[in-house]
Structure 1
């Protein structure tokens, strides 16, 4: 072809391309087009076995997307055929992947409990295998997974531990012992009393923290029934967690009746019939062996970490790992001590003397740093952890302090006081430095802070402090704390959560003191500052009721029920000079209750008209008991009931 003709033809083709026609593909061009399809669950699970950690991490993200896409289509978690079984098998082989921990928390929390439970033994078997792995990193990752499962499914992970299994054929009956033995091996404990199984490998501070935290969570979850049960070896109703239960005993349909209301047990922990076999001698011996095997490790860890965690230098920065290590060690010791020392048959245990000595040794180690966080760096970095350790020190000091035996019920006050004096005289009069230090620390917590920028005691922390206050008030050597406590209560706002807990606490203390048929050796000495403080608190109750109004009707009902019971005791039930309340004080208290019932015709509207019907009925029952003590109260109530047709009929029943 002539050159001119060829150039002319190429120019025409180039002109056609400019008009939008595509260039013709060469005959040897490679086809790079592809077709996409949706990934299925099986496709993603295959990638979770990949040798590359990055691929496995991406497969977890894809798995989450597949499961979420199913939810958008109406397929709930666990509804796919074989989904849970396949996922559990797949994640069991990824225990060492950090990305797996977040996925387990996300997935297990969304599965129905009944759906996951049948497959947990398989996952526990894989975790137990990882806990005994030759590489320490694998064991640490397994500990993290155990802690996650303890938060979501504690009963299945713990199994029957520490009680012996009834039958090994029961599903999961021995899983708790297997998992816990793996945790002990991961901590380097084997055999008896801390025999090392690390084979020369030394755990770092971070590794110890992971393992001890898992052990702490396991033991605390397993011993919850024991910690909630009444501590039978102490005459007090409860020296452990202070639970403020709602008072939902009476019906609002008719007159309120407190004739059979048991104030003595209202402030105890709930019934714990679930304690079952873990309070058996075999279970207690297992707990004893467990703690004795951990004791040397806990002491060594605490002594290594404490200097860094509680530096007295104001310029030192807080070592968070060291602080967490100290906190975990203290928690472990306190949980085991409360579970064991609170048992009635603790003295009959083979290792009772050794256990008490071990707990006392750890308490002495803690005493050098108590109260914790005295350095500015430690106090500002983690005040919650510091407060928790100081609180556990006080609990441990109270649990180790000697207690008198229960007294026989004495309906006559003079005999009861004599029996209480005799019971406490039989207890060692030797001063207890740990108990005195705990009382001083509690007093410092109750005092108002002079530093406006200092963190205030939260309502949760205050409620945790109340059981220790109760235990200290029951002891003659630390009873002077009561004056400071009542002054702290009177400084609190009426509608605050702290004041509500304090009012419930003082009402409980009053009924414990006035119960002449009780076996608790508790009596407030004549002339004690606590008596004067209690009288001030009692006179402040009408003001608290006025300020509460309908802001917190449960707190209002709580105080009204206390006044109803107190009014029914008067005057014969308040024997002078032994009772905390003198009959002569009740007339002044009744006069202060009159404004509570003021209606709109007055210059100020009282809170009674703003309450619901049930609480109004309760208030009328209180007025029925207290009105004979003051005419102004009776007149105010008579005027108030005229505004409510049902109230007129209700009040006329008296």
Structure 2
């Protein structure tokens, strides 16, 4: 009974509303959560102003210091090592001021990971090096170069091919920042950095070593060279090798050239000696110095009081002779090693081209991997055979010429290189154009080498100057000279080679690479026309030089090359065929281009001072050497007038571009004007030009200089070098030299 009463009360309680008593609040439900808290204070010790933070240790977001990260690089867990590399980048990226002071321990600890067996660690380290190297000055890298290259070359000879391939990628990073250190001693038999790096390349390519075989023997593979590379891996190695050889061999081509002028090595065989070709530029820059009026100085003449006993001793002369012989021996040894390296790589280059050419130039879209492989092997061949065939030694030219002929014979099947079918982007078109230019350059190298020896002796000069028949091997005679000539003509004429039907102007690098080919075609060294001058090519070259805009990237190079051709005949030590065999039509073509020069000067204004100076020096030499007819000089003189004063229909006389030039360039232009008037016939017909110059200089600071040089009336053949003018070259070394008699 009580039990049932209790249950009834509980059921009724669920539906009964509790009566609230006065002054008491509502009761909390039984399932309520208490969210109240009690705290006396909030402590933020890291933000306290009483703590000295001057000696605070820099850490990452994980509170890891530099020492902690360095210690984790030796951890047995690959993930820990990888996180440590990421932590180092985070720390140095957050605090870049730490890089100089932490560079030594950083390099010492990280270079060992180049040979880490975990691929992700090597890739992570490679990305960190690519980020870090541009941030470190080159001078700060030099003390660590030996250690870096020691571990890099060690990784190149690792037993695992993947590690050796990643080591090549590390070499690419170092070639960007310190190329001279990487290629040092590459042709020596010693353990120099460059020699070890090159051996690593050859080992990956299964080519053996460049020093492991004697002349005439087939290169033998090294013990670690049994690696079959995929196309992508082979591209990595060949691309890096091409960059390595470009840095190692490029100084030999331009060591005698001005940094602002195009190389003229291809003209060397047309001079009587190497000295004649390398004799300039020899511009003499006069730098006047004056003492203050209150000071006095007694003149000293150190060259006048040299005693008889002050000359060289016999021992000193012997040491000098030994030094010269040593330098000559080094050059010969270097050329021999280049020839041996070319012989070692020749089978790989030919095999790579034959394997990739059908896919790169066949029907359908262009395969980028195969095309890049072909481009890189062609670049390697250009570097090697360019250095060999431009050398003065003939010891190894026979074998190298034959091997180059074999390669060009295979390439000639696809020349001019183009992808059949489908649209191509601009990058592919530039790659194909570069490949065509390499083929043209290699062809011209071979033909120039077979046309003549580089530097004939004085006794053989008269023997070869008349009636010489060029002897060519069968392989050289089979090269497609006609197709090369046609391609060059179409390229200079601006005909469209792209799939979109639009013609693009020739870039400066492309025009510079084309110069050896133009020289061989101008001289007709293939002998198909009896060894005469290639007048058709001359007309195409001159037309292109006149058609290109004054502000074009290659305008300066065209002026320099055509100026060389026009002035080359005035060189006494020049013995080439491009001397007296020009027809009247070609002579008029050159003079038409010369008449075009004042317009180019006017359009340039003060926007390109290097090109302006080059043109001014060309005109000075043109008038000094009387390389054009007086009628042409009169036309140039008349067209030169607006350069000083412009006659506007409504505004009257206005100053020309001459007054926008710096002082040194203005004086150089006044020298050109005076040299132009040295000829009596021209001076008699140039009264208007002379009057214009006089009026334009009235009240100007250059008036005194003009009066001084115009009164002297120097005879032809003298130069009027202004004080303080900058030196520049115009043509081959002899042509660029200013006569300072």
Match of 2:675 among 600, 616, 625: 625
CA gap 1:473/1:70 in 2 versus in 1, 3 angstroms: same
1:169-219, CA deviations, whole angstroms, 9 ceiling, x for partnerless residues? xxxx52322222122111122255354457865321112111222222222
Q: Report how many aligned residue pairs link the two structures.
A: 583
Shift of the 217–548 alpha-carbon distance from structure 1 to 2, 3 Å rule, reads: closer
Matched, 1:447 2:493: yes
Instruction: Flag the structure with more relative contact order, 1 or 2, with Cα contacts below 8 A and sequence separation at least 6.
Output: 2
Give the direction of change, closer, same or farther, for the CA distance of 1:89–1:640 in structure 2 (3 Å limit): same
Instruction: Determine the C-alpha separation between the residues in 1 that align with 2:588 and 2:452.
Output: 26
The residue number in structure 2 matching 1:140 is: 165
Q: For 1:233 and 1:552, how far apart are their aligned partners in 2?
A: 27
- Cα distance in 2 between the residues matched to 1:563 and 1:455: 30
- Rounded Cα–Cα distance in structure 2 between residues aligned with 1:121 and 1:277: 29
CA distance in 1, matches of 2:153, 2:204: 11
Q: TM-score, normalised by structure 2?
A: 0.70
Question: Which residue number in structure 1 is paired with residue 154 of structure 2?
Answer: 129
The answer to whether the 8 A contact 2:73-2:85 is kept is yes
Aligned to 1:184: 202
- Deviation by residue 1:122-141 (Cα, 9 ceiling, x = unmatched): 33232223222232222211
For the residue of structure 2 that corresponds to 1:518, the secondary structure is coil
Match of 2:269 among 227, 235, 238: 235
Distance in structure 1 (CA, Å) of the matches to 2:86 and 2:534: 58
String of CA shifts for 1:66-118, please: whole Å, max 9, x gaps.
123332xx434345673443343455647942222221122223223343333
Q: Tell whether the 8 Å contact from 1:423 to 1:521 is kept in structure 2 after alignment.
A: no
Give distance in 1, aligned partners of 2:35 and 2:434.
79
1:416-455 equivalences under 5 Å are 421-422=465-466, 424-428=468-472, 433-449=479-495, 453-455=502-504
Residue 4 of structure 1 is matched in structure 2 by none
Q: 1:590 aligns with which of 637, 645, 657?
A: 637
User: Which segment drifts farther, 542-551 or 230-239?
Assistant: 230-239
Query: Partner of 1:158 in structure 2?
Result: 183
**Following TM superposition, by how much is the alpha carbon of 1:50 offset from its aligned partner in structure 2, in angstroms?**
4.7
Of residues 389-398 and 177-186 in structure 1, the stretch that sits farther from structure 2 once superposed is 177-186
User: Structure 1 residue 322: deviation in Å?
Assistant: 0.3
**1:514 maps to which residue?**
570
Name the structure 1 match of 2:244.
Answer: 218
Show the counterpart of 1:473.
Answer: 522
Q: CA deviation at 1:528?
A: 5.8
Q: Distance in 1 between matches of 2:392 and 2:636?
A: 43
In 1, Cα distance between the equivalents of 2:127 and 2:104?
A: 24
Query: Deviation digits for residues 603-645 of structure 1, max 9, x if unmatched?
Result: 4542223322222222222222224251111111111111414
CA distance in 1, matches of 2:219, 2:625: 58
User: Does residue 459 of structure 1 match 2:505?
Assistant: no
Q: What is the alpha-carbon distance in structure 2 between the residues aligned to residue 130 and residue 36 of structure 1?
A: 33
Residues in 1 aligned to 2:560 and 2:606: alpha-carbon distance in whole angstroms:
18
> What is aligned with 1:203?
229
In our comparison, the structure showing a higher alpha carbon Rg is 2
Cα distance in 1 between the residues matched to 2:458 and 2:161: 59
- In 1, the alpha carbon distance for the partners of 2:509 and 2:689 equals 37
Superposed counterparts of 1:160-559, under 5 Å: 160-165=185-190, 173-190=191-208, 192=213, 193-196=218-221, 201-229=227-255, 234-236=268-270, 250=285, 280-311=331-362, 313=363, 316-345=364-393, 347-349=394-396, 352-373=397-418, 375-377=420-422, 380=425, 382-401=428-447, 402-405=450-453, 421-422=465-466, 424-428=468-472, 433-449=479-495, 453-475=502-524, 476=532, 478-523=534-579, 525-527=581-583, 529-559=585-615
Q: Which runs of 5+ in 1 are unaligned?
A: 1-7, 23-34, 166-172, 240-244, 255-272, 411-415, 575-580
Query: C-alpha separation between the residues in 2 aligned to 1:20 and 1:140?
Result: 63
Quote the RMSD (CA, aligned, Å). 3.8
CA contact (8 A) 2:115 2:155 kept: no
**Aligned mates of 2:421, 2:37 — CA distance in 1:** 76
